[in-house]
Chains A and B, each alone.
Chain A
Amino acid sequence: MGMNQNRRMACAGLVLAPLLAIAGPVLAAGGTDQEREERWQDLRQSIFGERPVEDGVGLITLEAPARALDAALVPLTIRIAPEQRDRVAAVHLVIDDNPSPYAARASFGPAGDPAVLRLRVRIDGYTNVHAVAETKDGRLFGTAAFVKASGGCSAPIGVSDEVAMQGMGEMKLRPGGPDTHGEATLLIRHPNFSGMQMNQLTRTYTPARYLDLVRISQGDQTVLELAGDISLASDPAIGFAYRPGEADAFTVLATDSDGGSWQESFPIPANTQ
């Protein structure tokens, strides 16, 4: 199942992309609730078509700061209720008023556990952030949080492009804490250029270059496949949960929009087995 499923997931990613070319007007800080709801309905339709997004209460939660300390690095945590985990195939993250709203889609494989997903994102203005769980039978359940931030997408990365590119593709796996079970965080060095960072000297924008796919596997079983976009913060970090498997190592494949490709493997942390 592993290979086939992986291929299907990758294909799904390609098919999804053109659907999301939404360039609606971004709302100002003072947008009304009604405007925000209309914005979301436009996005929902672009991303999910006619499928309704049902109230995700009891199934999915999103933890986000009410006001970002750093708009270029806003930590988010998406949780799926334990008793609902087996239903969930994927989680979608939408930052409504970002220039490229569809920030990430995480698809869980047989070795994956949707219980928790942690991402760090850029947020460009005052916006709703939506997390939507997709069940294996194709139903959608959503939740939202309102975040106040500004300028996260165009914020400079480090001090220069050169420095930001140093070590690109390096990875590290951090085990979860002792009070967590089967959780880890994958760190990947990558500037994730948004295409909105301008160089004052040349008056040009650094071209967008971002991680578009990160696949974490245990043996031939997929844990998680993350399709990413320019809204992921530089040096992306992915906190994820996994199910104990036969394999003793995670393998990670990361690719970016420029054709970059990096592979790494890590022993599965002992304390979380």
Chain B
Amino acid sequence: MLQRGTARRTFLQAGLCLCGCLAAGRAAGSAGLVEVAPGVLVRRGPDEEASAANGNGIANIGCIIGNDAVLVTDPGGSLADGQWLREEIRRRTQRPIRHVVVSHVHPDHCFGTGAFLDDAPEILGHHRLSAALAARGDYYQRQLVELLGDGAAGPVVLPTRAVGEDETVLDLGGRRIRLAAYATAHSDCDLVMLDEASGLLFPADLLFVGRVPSLDGSLSGWQAALGRLRATGAVRAVPGHGPTTVELGQAIGPLERYLAMLQDETRAALAAGRTMEEAIATVAMAERDHWALFDDYHGRNVTQAYKELEWE
């Protein structure tokens, strides 16, 4: 150790947002829940970074209502965002909230869970979500507290039910929901949900539409995951970021193109002996005009891609 006595201080501040790590929420108020199919309500998250103004309500969140029960997914980006969602749900139905599905570990998707604890739902997540929240929850929470203040950030809530390799099927009363845990892609704990009644697929952040994707798992894994999304045969989907619903095949196209260019050009930079800095400045810049928040996330994506591919 060059220097001893590292203080274990608490370091606040955010800086980097994985997927809008901190962006979101009160925009909730302005956006509102939209019924995108019978019994399926979605709030479109704005294409913004986390801020005190939006309360980290930047992801698409909502619920599915069955005859007997309500399923929430995602619960929101902060306690405040989750509370807003719960109020909106309660304005429409008094059926019990029995399930909260957390699509993955990023804060804009999971920090609203705390708003639903009084409903005593089962909280479902990928079988690796607990480990991911254990490793990152504290860090994310400190960033959120810094941005939103103590009360608004919300607790780190671990899932009570893990979705394993085998598909999990829920019944909301005349409405079956299928859940699948994907291999490492956008993150290492991406969960994909299908509502049989509406045919809507919920790929969460495996599908970014309009907002630049953020890579926090595996570039090649994400490309494979897009193939698996296609293979579901679903026609319409609720992306993690972007419009409330999209035509799945069409929406995958630009993301696939971005990831392929990121991969090809990072590989080419590595083959040419380019440094990480050179790669960051040059790779996939042709995509710049196609995505919101490109400058906020793209350089980081190149860094991730470079780190992954330099070991090939």
Give chain A's interface residues, CB within 8 Å of chain B.
16-18, 20-23, 26, 29, 63, 65, 68-73, 75, 77, 99-105, 118, 120, 124-125, 149-151, 153-163, 172, 174-180, 183, 185, 187, 194-202, 205, 208, 210, 212, 227-230, 235, 237, 239, 257
Inter-chain CA distance A103–B6, complex, in Å, is 12
B156 is an interface residue with CB less than 8 A from chain A: yes
A71 touching B15 by the CB < 8 A rule?
A: yes
A257 touching B5 by the CB < 8 A rule?
A: no
| Given contacts A177-B274, A239-B275, A101 and B3 within 8 Å (CB-CB) | yes
Inter-chain CA distance A176–B272, complex, in Å, is 8
- Write the nearest CB–CB distance from B170 to chain A, whole angstroms: 25
- Write the nearest CB–CB distance from A165 to chain B, whole angstroms: 12
Inter-chain CA distance A68–B189, complex, in Å, is 26
- Kindly identify which residue among B13, B105, B135, B187 contacts A151, using a CB–CB cutoff of 8 Å: B13
Q: Which residues of B contact A208 (CB under 8 A)?
A: 1, 6
Q: Which residues of B contact A198 (CB under 8 A)?
A: 138-139
Inter-chain CA distance A202–B280, complex, in Å, is 37
B236 is an interface residue with CB less than 8 A from chain A: no
Inter-chain CA distance A24–B188, complex, in Å, is 38
Taking each of A65, A69, A120, A208, which has the highest tally of chain B beta carbons within 10 Å of its own beta carbon?
A: A69
Q: Which residues of B contact A102 (CB under 8 A)?
A: 2-3
Inter-chain CA distance A22–B230, complex, in Å, is 56
B277 is an interface residue with CB less than 8 A from chain A: yes
**Additional pairs, 6, CB under 8 Å, beyond known A196-B6, A201-B158, A202-B134:** A77-B275, A101-B3, A150-B15, A158-B135, A174-B270, A183-B273
B2 touching A201 by the CB < 8 A rule?
A: no
- Write the nearest CB–CB distance from A179 to chain B, whole angstroms: 8
B270 touching A160 by the CB < 8 A rule?
A: no
Q: Which residues of A contact B130 (CB under 8 A)?
A: 201
B143 is an interface residue with CB less than 8 A from chain A: yes
A150 touching B138 by the CB < 8 A rule?
A: no
Inter-chain CA distance A77–B105, complex, in Å, is 33
- Kindly identify which residue among A69, A200, A212 contacts B303, using a CB–CB cutoff of 8 Å: A69
B91 is an interface residue with CB less than 8 A from chain A: no
| Given contacts A154-B139, A201-B134, A69 and B16 within 8 Å (CB-CB) | yes
- Kindly identify which residue among A21, A150, A153, A177 contacts B3, using a CB–CB cutoff of 8 Å: A21
Inter-chain CA distance A138–B62, complex, in Å, is 65
| Given contacts A70-B16, A151-B15, A151-B139, A235 and B307 within 8 Å (CB-CB) | yes
Inter-chain CA distance A52–B64, complex, in Å, is 68
Inter-chain CA distance A197–B303, complex, in Å, is 21
B273 touching A175 by the CB < 8 A rule?
A: yes
Q: Mark B3-18, 1 if CB is under 8 A from A, else 0.
A: 1111111111111100
Q: Which residues of B contact A202 (CB under 8 A)?
A: 134
Q: Which residues of B contact A124 (CB under 8 A)?
A: 11
5 pairs of A and B residues whose beta carbons are closest in the complex: A177-B273, A150-B13, A150-B15, A20-B3, A200-B137
- Kindly identify which residue among B6, B133, B134 contacts A194, using a CB–CB cutoff of 8 Å: B6
Q: Which residues of A contact B2 (CB under 8 A)?
A: 16-17, 20, 100, 102-105, 212, 227-229
- Kindly identify which residue among A65, A100, A212 contacts B6, using a CB–CB cutoff of 8 Å: A100
- Write the nearest CB–CB distance from A205 to chain B, whole angstroms: 6
Inter-chain CA distance A163–B217, complex, in Å, is 12
Taking each of B6, B9, B10, B311, which has the highest tally of chain A beta carbons within 10 Å of its own beta carbon?
A: B6
| Given contacts A120-B276, A194-B6, A200-B137, A73 and B303 within 8 Å (CB-CB) | yes
A68 touching B15 by the CB < 8 A rule?
A: yes
Q: Which residues of B contact A154 (CB under 8 A)?
A: 10-11, 139
| Given contacts A69-B299, A187-B311, A257 and B1 within 8 Å (CB-CB) | yes
Q: Which residues of A contact B14 (CB under 8 A)?
A: 150-151
Inter-chain CA distance A149–B13, complex, in Å, is 9
Can you name 28 A-B residue pairings with CB atoms under 8 Å?
Answer: A17-B4, A21-B4, A68-B15, A73-B303, A75-B277, A99-B6, A101-B3, A151-B139, A155-B139, A156-B135, A159-B187, A160-B131, A160-B132, A160-B134, A161-B135, A172-B311, A176-B273, A177-B274, A178-B273, A187-B311, A194-B6, A195-B6, A200-B156, A201-B130, A208-B1, A229-B1, A229-B2, A230-B6
B139 touching A230 by the CB < 8 A rule?
A: no
B165 is an interface residue with CB less than 8 A from chain A: no
A159 touching B135 by the CB < 8 A rule?
A: yes
- Write the nearest CB–CB distance from A173 to chain B, whole angstroms: 11
Inter-chain CA distance A202–B131, complex, in Å, is 11
Inter-chain CA distance A52–B10, complex, in Å, is 33
- Kindly identify which residue among A17, A65, A187, A239 contacts B1, using a CB–CB cutoff of 8 Å: A17
Closest chain A residue to B302 by CB distance?
A69
Inter-chain CA distance A151–B95, complex, in Å, is 42
B98 is an interface residue with CB less than 8 A from chain A: no
B136 is an interface residue with CB less than 8 A from chain A: yes
| Given contacts A77-B275, A200-B138, A17 and B3 within 8 Å (CB-CB) | yes
Q: Which residues of A contact B3 (CB under 8 A)?
A: 17, 20-22, 100-102, 229
- Write the nearest CB–CB distance from B136 to chain A, whole angstroms: 4
Q: Which residues of A contact B275 (CB under 8 A)?
A: 75, 77, 118, 239
